Structure 1
Amino acid sequence: MRQRMERFLASRRAVLQGAAGLAATTMLARPALAAPAEAMTFIGWQFAPQIVEANVATFKKLYDENVNYELVTGDYHPVAETKLMGGQHIDMLYSEEDHIARWNAADWTRDLEGLEGVEAIKAGLYPVCVKSLSLPNGKLAGLPYYAGHDAFIYNEEHLAKAKLEVPDSFDALLDACRKLKKDGISDAPYNSAWGQKWPELSWSIFACWYSEGAKVFDANNDLVPDEAFRKVLELHRSLFKEGLVTADIMTLPDEGVPSYATGQHTFMILHDYDQKVTNDPSMSKAAGKVRNALMPGKTHSTLGWTSAYLMGAKPVDEARVWDLMRFFGGKAKDGQYHVIKRWALEFGLGSGYKEVMADPDVVASFSKWRDLDVTSKQIELATSRDVAKMIWFSEWDLYMMQNVQEYIRGSGSTDELVDKLTAKVAELKKQYQ
């Protein structure tokens, strides 16, 4: 069970962290005779590269095209940025949303406005995905690789034993955790990703902030440490202080998913696609007992994000590269979502397209391990993190996680933490202006 989970999570985690693996560059078979002589260039991170190669081969055959696909191993974004700075020609590349504006501002990528079918594509996406894929000026910068959000799950068997309802507020969540521990049903009822890597505490605490109705940052990208913001911080501190989480929660591997799969925890906030792991009997002792519900806050919102395919600033041929992007990040000329649907069925990755999420095959697959009605509503309520597109945000984000961890452990007051986080925003904005 453990080995199967490790293989699955290692493959899936590469979407977020660019795990090392195969050779740094993979060039596909020579183009067909009718294909253009000049190849398009496409670079991507280390996630199922064999499948990516197969997808490229399908594209080449369907469009009579010529494409060179390069696999980037290691830490994808810094490596890709080094290539771009060095002048390597790239027609299409992957990107997380926090690099979309940065690469566009550096004139390494271009927006997609005015290209054939762009408005129809926008209309078919969830609004939160359009926002995630757009530049600060509102122009669409990329097409969706996959769309994700932080989800709230619970072990229904634990709640039944404790005679508890699913908590719909953070106060109710805290009280439920106390009862579950007191009754001996779960020694550490709450679990989450509280590590310092950017898809861990950063994502999970933003999900809680948005769910409680905190703005976090305003339109000027200044911190808004309101009552909801402070309440979420204090919730995290209480969970840790009262022993309602494991003592090593800040160092759990794989965003805490294997820990939840032991069946020892009741609640978790996790990346939505990891629900597939928690309900897979070959990987989880909690399988069949895990259900998803809306985030337990005043607004029930959550953090939503969309990874992207971007177009290089100087494509070898705009129309050809646009065909490549739509094949991977949308619907091909034969009317099929070749790539996106495969990610959904094989790995449980959500799509930014409403049509894909409503596809009978996807519905049948996803319904085996989560309530899709809840998922659909959660996506509609999700909030995109616009501030992540600011050049200085990643530095503040790491600072925030480091200081929030210390605060959770008992260091300083809420006011002192808020003052630190606010001052850091001002410092970085001045530094990067």
Structure 2
Amino acid sequence: MDKSLERYLLSRRSVLKGAAALSASTMLGRSAMAAPSAPLTFIGWQYQPQIVEENVDIFKKLYDENVTYELVSGDYHPVVETKLTGGQHIDMLYAEEDHIARWHAADWTRDLEGLPDIDAIKAGMFPVSVESMSLPDGKLAGLPYYAGHNAFIYNEEHLQKAGIAAPPDSWDSLIDACRKLKKDGISDAPYNSAWGQKWPELSWSLFSCWYAEGAPVFDDKNDFVADEALRKVLETHRTLYKEQLVTPDIMTLPNEGVPSYATGRHTFMILHDYDQKVANDPKFSKAAGKVKNALMPGKTHSTFAWTAVYMMGAQPVDVDRVWQLLRFFGGKSKDGQYHVIKRWALEFGLGSAYKEVMADPEIASSFSKWRDIDITKKQLELGTSRKVAKNIWFPEWDLFMMQNVQEYIRGNGSTDQLIEQLSSKVADLKKQYQ
């Protein structure tokens, strides 16, 4: 992988050692005196740590506080659960939407209801983000780190060479296009996606495809729904692999397959929306300038939309102090600026849960340079939040699902057998967590 791209893609799944000491202040009338002796503890995944440190410097200038920040090495969520199970005190931590209910049920975190300005904060966010960040009882579990969705992109030059007039809008037309692209020698592996077993890879891609085809996946009782739409998506994945329309190592590609797409080798990809910036950046991508976005193929054209959060620990050193820490990183600073969120948007293309941020002319102009913003807005309107992830058993089922779907894609077992495995696992976990 190109070293500059590798540095750019350093993500929260990467390993990083070390920690940084932060200083900041609160907005609740604390005077500019010596920082409190008892530090707030803040842990998180690794993503652009040098910028996190710069944001911390801004925080230090605006506040007078004492915070210890720890970067977690390895697979973030399991490591954090180990720390919390062992009794480590944490005041603020990152989480993806599929862990917020689990951690709250374990009494590791608390909700934010009743804290200052919380109703106004929720009113300023997109409904799908509020839903994503809420607990099963509707209470807000955290403030937004970023809001994302899975997007569908294509190499326009490849389609032109193959004489394909428009990007595919169904799974059958996607497979047909891939076959032609390969037969014509334009791409040896036309389709690319994140098919690994980590939490933002095959699961997120599959749910996006399922929602795009109209599969609910789970019903209102959180029972697994094996309808024709769900089966269609599974069988499409198996066909793509069987006919070698994907690279043979697609299940082990690093950085969710983004560097592989940046080689210009592939035509289509489902990826996190912010990674479109990488695909169209000439510093990192040989396909830059050729990559366009379209609505997800499928009957409904929906996709999986999520919002990652900053959560408050169940036993904060001081609720008011920790609330201000959350608000600085997950919202507005006391000077009225979205210091952290706006920088993520402008430099890395991360979307925001806040309507005000996404309407910012500077951000809208920046986003429009590397994707069709109207298509992005339409895709967000069609996006689906994964309600089933509010169940504390879901992360275990999710990993089980990815492991078994990988085996199925490789050709092991029938669709009916896979459906039975996935459905039975739901029933077993529900009993286990009663």
TM range (shorter): over 0.9
Would the aligned equivalents of 2:105 and 2:392 in 1 still touch at CA under 8 Å?
Answer: no
Q: Write the distance in 2 (CA, Å) between the matches of 1:56 and 1:134.
A: 27
- TM-score of the superposed pair, with normalisation by structure 1: 0.93
Equivalent-residue separation in structure 1 for 2:174 and 2:113 (angstroms): 44
> 1:72–1:401: structure 2 CA closer, same or farther, 3 Å change rule?
closer
SS at match of 1:145: strand
Code of the aligned partner of 1:55: N
Once residues 315 and 221 of structure 1 are traced to their aligned partners in structure 2, the CA distance between those partners, rounded to angstroms, is: 32
Query: Which of the numbers 12, 20, 25 marks the counterpart of 1:26?
Result: 20
C-alpha distance in structure 2 between counterparts of 1:124 and 1:279, whole Å? 31
The equivalences for 1:281-292 within 5 A come to: 281-292=282-293
Report Cα offsets for 1:300-351 as digits up to 9, x if no partner. 1111111110112222332222222111101112111000011112222111
1:425 equivalenced with 2:420 (yes/no)? no
1:179 alignment counterpart: 180
Does 2:361 align with 1:346?
Answer: no
Distance 2:132 2:320 in 1: 24
Kept in 1: contact 2:147–2:350 (CA 8 A): yes
Please tell me whether residue 42 in structure 1 is matched to residue 36 in structure 2: no
Q: What's the counterpart of residue 29 of structure 2?
A: none
- Work out the CA distance in 1 between the residues paired with 2:417 and 2:403: 14
1:30 shift after superposition: 9.1
After superposition, the Cα gap between the structure-2 partners of 1:403 and 1:59, relative to the gap in structure 1 and judged at 3 Å, is same
**Sequence identity, in percent?**
75
SS in 1 for 2:68: strand
Aligned to 1:227: 228
2:245 corresponds in structure 1 to 244
1:302 corresponds in structure 2 to 303
How many angstroms apart in 1 are the aligned matches of 2:108 and 2:312?
9
Q: Is the 8 A contact 2:24 2:60 kept in 1?
A: no
> Equivalent residue of 1:221, what SS?
coil
What secondary structure, in the 3-state scheme, does the structure 2 residue paired with 1:208 have? helix
Deviation of 1:76 after TM superposition, in Å, equals 2.7
CA offsets 1:379-430 (integer angstroms, 9 cap, x no match) = 2211121222322222222221222122222222211211121111112222
Confirm whether residue 275 of structure 1 aligns to residue 314 of structure 2. no
Paired residues of 1:56 and 1:69 also in contact (CA < 8 A):
no
Counterpart of 1:233 in 2: which secondary structure? Answer: helix
Letter paired with 1:75: D
Partner of 1:401: 402
Name the SS for the 1:228 alignment partner: helix
* Cα displacement string for residues 60-119 of structure 1 (whole angstroms, at most 9, x for unaligned residues): 332333333233333332333333334333221111222211121122211111222212
In 1, the alpha carbon distance for the partners of 2:40 and 2:249 equals 47
Instruction: Confirm or deny: 8 A CA contact 2:146 2:350 kept in the other structure.
Output: yes
Letter in 2 for 1:2: D
Change (3 A) 1:360 1:233: same
Name 1:197's counterpart in structure 2: 198
Contact 1:126–1:380 under 8 Å retained in 2: no
SS in 2 for 1:55: helix
Residue equivalent to 1:168: 169
Residue 54 of structure 1 deviates from its aligned partner by 2.8
Matches within 5 A, 1:404-415: 404-415=405-416
Q: Which residue identity is paired with 1:66?
A: N
Give distance in 2, aligned partners of 1:268 and 1:72: 29
Counterpart AA for 2:274: Y
2:310 and 2:48 map into 1 onto residues whose CA distance is: 16
Following TM superposition, by how much is the alpha carbon of 1:206 offset from its aligned partner in structure 2, in angstroms? 0.8
Provide the rounded CA distance (Å) in 2 between the counterparts of 1:372 and 1:361.
13
1:132-177 CA deviation, whole Å, 9 max, x = no partner? 1000111101000011111100011111122221111222212222
Tell me, yes or no, if the aligned pair for 2:23 and 2:56 is still in contact at 8 Å. Answer: no
Q: Partners of 1:266 and 1:210 in 2: how far apart?
A: 22
**What is the aligned partner in structure 2 of residue 115 from structure 1?**
115
Does 1:315 find its partner at 2:316?
yes
Change (3 A) 1:307 1:171: same
One-letter amino acid of the counterpart of residue 343, structure 2: R
Separation in structure 2 between the aligned mates of residue 74 and residue 406 of structure 1, nearest angstrom: 25
209-218 vs 368-377, which deviates more?
368-377
Which residue of structure 1 aligns with residue 104 of structure 2? 104
> 8 Å contact 1:149–1:304 — kept in the other structure?
yes
Q: Kindly provide the amino acid, as one letter, of the partner of residue 282 in structure 1.
A: K
Q: What SS does the corresponding residue of 1:215 show, helix, strand or coil?
A: coil
Gap change, CA 1:353 and 1:276, over 3 Å in 2: same
With the length of structure 2 as denominator, give the TM-score of the two structures. 0.93
RMSD: 1.9
Q: Is the 8 A contact 2:191 2:266 kept in 1?
A: yes
Cα 1:195–1:84 change in 2 (3 A) is: closer
Residue type at the aligned position of 1:47: Y
Q: Which amino acid aligns with 2:167?
A: V
Give the match's secondary structure for 1:26. Answer: strand
Contact 1:152 1:269 in 2 (8 A): yes
- Give the residue type in structure 2 aligned to 1:230: R
Aligned residue pairs total 427
Structure 1 window deviating more from structure 2 (127-136 vs 89-98): it is 89-98
* Distance in 2 separating the partners of 1:416 and 1:86: 38
Cα distance between partner residues in 2 of 1:411 and 1:41? 46
Extract unaligned runs of 5+ from structure 1.
Answer: none
Matches of 2:38 and 2:395, distance apart in 1:
37
Cα pair distance change 1:68/1:411, threshold 3 Å:
closer
- Is 1:55 aligned to residue 55 of structure 2? yes
Instruction: Give the 5 Å matches for 1:201-216.
Output: 201-216=202-217
Letter in 1 for 2:15: A
The CA deviation string for residues 23-74 of structure 1, in whole angstroms up to 9 with x for no partner, is 1x32236986354444322222222333223323322332333333233333
> Secondary structure in 1 aligned to 2:145?
strand
Change in Cα spacing, 1:153 to 1:118, as seen in structure 2 (3 Å) is same
Preserved CA contact (<8 Å) 1:303 1:383: yes
